[in-house]
């Protein structure tokens, strides 16, 4: 199957790429609109496409043309507004992973969702501008997560929230949960995984772990029965001052931190692709894990053909064991056809390579006490162009000497291996 993730640059799109890119049943495509130079997805995928914005003239015809040219079978939208847009499209031969349009439109509005589910599950009280009870929480009616939301504790904040047209809702002081869900094509719930939202940044759970709460499970079952959301979705709850989980919102897509559910063994994007392509699906038994998400660096760097590796504290750590990141980088460089050399003061380095079973991708392994001078011999012997070569070395003393002697040779310390890049899938 040819699958297209759009947009790719947000947390949802990037999680979908990670979830789908290693399936041998899928050829994965992805794209975003605007500022592609800042889109991490183009570092991850060979099949990256710059797409028109959904609000640009002729978006539908232009986007469908992109899909047709690449023989796309399945489109996985990674943004709520696009879920609603694609839910209304009927393009022959192309399936969009969305619920029916009525539900996709409903879930864009928190107010409308609360009104639909009042009496089904606990929903927060919504205040008019005339009778708010402080403190309260003010948030956009259509934005996802806590983006744009503010805690209102005094009149000045209230006036600002009203001026912005924010939804004035009951303040919920307790724990917050996200529940990753998937339902079948008729809206029957297949699986849900409640997780507590720990460390949060920009509306995304950066620290999260599964939680077994019967009340949350019951609320999810009631929502699924009432709305019959087809495909992937998630709901968020927050405890009120009595410890009761109250619905915050529902989104008809995968969650940005559904990475946790995938790490537990349930790959919701992959299951969704197979389900929407007409295959019968089963849900694996999940395993408990705790997830802390952190920054990943994807870097553009001028092209290079050669890499010279140091040994001590570079390819091996200070405890003498091979550095897993460095070894993985060696493998990737070899995959990309970048030639590699080993240059070390440690005469035992070649024997230690065999001991630790480090792959020997080196065109030459040279042990020399004066590494700065030895570089000249390596460069001459292999016909290396300094500007197309990178030296990875932990010693700043040697780095300064190398930079002074060979100003065109790029130098890199082991903490910055991301500069070498990674071959897209």
pLDDT of residue 54: 93
Residue spans of alpha helices (H) in 312-410: 324-335, 349-356, 371-382, 396-405
Q: What is the rounded distance in angstroms from the CA atom of residue 93 to the CA atom of residue 75? A: 11
Pick among 3.40.50.300, 3.30.470.20, 1.10.3720.10, 1.20.120.140: CATH of 106-117+173-292: 3.30.470.20
Q: What is the rounded distance in angstroms from the CA atom of residue 44 to the CA atom of residue 10? A: 13
Segment 35-62, tens digit of pLDDT:
788 899 999 999 999 999 999 999 999 9
Q: What is the rounded distance in angstroms from the CA atom of residue 389 to the CA atom of residue 403? A: 13
2-98 is classed CATH 2.60.120.860: no
**Mean pLDDT, to the nearest integer, of 130-149?**
84
Residue with the two structure tokens 């001028």: 302
Segment 243-265, tens digit of pLDDT:
999 999 999 999 988 999 999 99
pLDDT of residue 257: 85
Report whether 234 contacts 111 (CB < 8 A).
no
Q: What is the rounded distance in angstroms from the CA atom of residue 271 to the CA atom of residue 258? A: 13
Domain boundaries 306-420, corresponding CATH code: 3.40.50.1000
Instruction: Grade residue 205 by pLDDT with cuts at 50, 70 and 90.
Output: low
| Rama region for 17: left / alpha / beta (φ>0; ψ in -120 to 50; rest) | alpha
Report whether 270 contacts 165 (CB < 8 A).
no
pLDDT of residue 144: 73
> How far from 353 is each of 243, 262, 308, 424, CA to CA, in Å?
57, 35, 16, 28
Which region among 148-152, 181-185, 277-281 has the lowest average model confidence (pLDDT)? 148-152
Same fold, 2-98 and 306-420: yes
Return the domain boundaries, the chain.
2-98, 106-117+173-292, 136-170, 306-420
Q: What is the rounded distance in angstroms from the CA atom of residue 410 to the CA atom of residue 304? A: 10
- CA nearest to 170, candidates 124, 128, 239, 114: 124
pLDDT of residue 130: 83
Segment 300-334, tens digit of pLDDT:
899 999 999 999 999 999 898 999 999 999 999 99
pLDDT of residue 198: 67
Segment 58-90, tens digit of pLDDT:
999 999 999 999 999 999 999 999 999 999 999
Token pair recorded at residue 348: 């035992």
**What is the Cα gyration radius of the chain?**
26
pLDDT of residue 293: 78
pLDDT higher than threshold 60 for residue 203? no
Q: What angle do helix axes 110-117 and 214-227 make, rounded to 10 degrees?
A: 90
The helix/strand/coil state of 239 is: strand
pLDDT higher than threshold 80 for residue 125? yes
Q: What is the rounded distance in angstroms from the CA atom of residue 315 to the CA atom of residue 305? A: 19
pLDDT of residue 200: 60
Mean pLDDT of all residues belonging to the chain: 93
Q: What is the rounded distance in angstroms from the CA atom of residue 413 to the CA atom of residue 394? A: 5
pLDDT of residue 112: 97
pLDDT higher than threshold 70 for residue 425? yes
**Mean pLDDT, to the nearest integer, of 365-371?**
95
**Mean pLDDT, to the nearest integer, of 227-239?**
97
- Using the 8-state DSSP alphabet, how is residue 312 labeled? B
Token pair recorded at residue 65: 């043309």
pLDDT of residue 271: 96
- CA nearest to 220, candidates 257, 198, 244, 247: 247
pLDDT of residue 269: 96
pLDDT higher than threshold 70 for residue 145? no
pLDDT higher than threshold 60 for residue 218? yes
pLDDT of residue 37: 85
Instruction: Grade residue 206 by pLDDT with cuts at 50, 70 and 90.
Output: low
- Using the 8-state DSSP alphabet, how is residue 126 labeled? B
pLDDT of residue 294: 78
**Mean pLDDT, to the nearest integer, of 263-290?**
94
Segment 108-120, tens digit of pLDDT:
999 999 999 999 9
| Rama region for 236: left / alpha / beta (φ>0; ψ in -120 to 50; rest) | beta
Q: Which residues have a Cβ under 8 Å from the Cβ of 276 and sit 6 or more positions away?
A: 74, 95, 97, 185, 231
pLDDT higher than threshold 70 for residue 93? yes
- CA nearest to 85, candidates 111, 54, 52, 53: 54
Segment 187-200, tens digit of pLDDT:
999 999 999 876 66
Instruction: Output the CA torsion sign for 258, 261, 263, 267.
Output: negative
pLDDT of residue 207: 74
Instruction: Grade residue 204 by pLDDT with cuts at 50, 70 and 90.
Output: low
Q: What is the rounded distance in angstroms from the CA atom of residue 250 to the CA atom of residue 268? A: 16
């Amino acid at each position: 199957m040819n699958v297209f993730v759009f947009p790719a640059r947000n947390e949802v799109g990037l999680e979908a790429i990670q979830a789908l890119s290693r399936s041998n049943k899928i050829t994965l495509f992805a794209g975003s609109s605007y500022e592609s130079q800042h889109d991490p997805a183009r570092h991850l995928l060979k099949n990256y496409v710059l797409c028109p914005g959904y609000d640009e003239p002729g978006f539908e015809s232009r986007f469908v043309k992109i899909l047709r040219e690449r023989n796309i079978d399945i489109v996985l939208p990674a943004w709520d507004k696009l879920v609603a847009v694609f839910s209304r499209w009927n393009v022959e031969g192309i399936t969009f992973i969305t619920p029916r349009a009525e539900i996709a439109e409903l879930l864009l509005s928190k107010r409308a969702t609360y009104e639909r589910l009042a009496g089904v599950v606990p929903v927060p009280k919504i205040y008019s501008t005339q009778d708010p009870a402080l403190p309260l929480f003010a948030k956009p009616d259509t934005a996802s997560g806590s983006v744009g939301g503010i805690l209102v504790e005094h009149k000045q904040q209230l006036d600002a929230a009203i001026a912005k047209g924010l939804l004035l809702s009951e303040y919920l002081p307790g724990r917050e949960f996200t529940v990753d869900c998937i339902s079948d094509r008729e809206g029957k719930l297949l699986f849900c995984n409640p997780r507590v939202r720990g460390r949060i940044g920009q509306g995304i759970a950066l620290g999260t772990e599964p939680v077994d709460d019967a009340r949350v499970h019951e609320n999810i079952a009631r929502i699924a029965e009432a709305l019959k959301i087809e495909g992937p979705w998630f709901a968020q709850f927050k405890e009120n001052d009595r410890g009761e989980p109250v619905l915050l919102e529902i989104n008809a897509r995968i969650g940005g931190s559904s990475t946790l559910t995938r790490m537990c063994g349930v790959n919701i994007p992959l299951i969704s692709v197979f389900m929407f392509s007409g295959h019968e699906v089963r849900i694996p038994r999940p395993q408990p894990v705790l997830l802390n998400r952190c920054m990943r660096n994807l870097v553009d760097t001028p092209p290079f053909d050669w890499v010279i590796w140091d040994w001590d504290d570079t390819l091996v750590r200070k405890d003498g064991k091979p550095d897993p990141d460095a070894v993985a980088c060696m493998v990737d460089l070899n995959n990309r056809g970048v030639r590699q050399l080993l240059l070390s003061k440690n005469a035992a380095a070649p024997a230690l390579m065999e001991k630790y079973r480090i792959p020997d991708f080196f065109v030459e392994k040279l042990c020399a006490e004066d590494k700065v001078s030895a570089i000249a011999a390596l460069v001459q012997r292999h016909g290396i162009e300094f500007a197309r070569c990178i030296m990875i070395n932990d010693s700043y003393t040697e780095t300064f000497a190398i930079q002074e002697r060979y100003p065109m040779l790029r130098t890199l310390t082991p903490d910055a291996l991301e500069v070498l890049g990674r071959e897209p899938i």
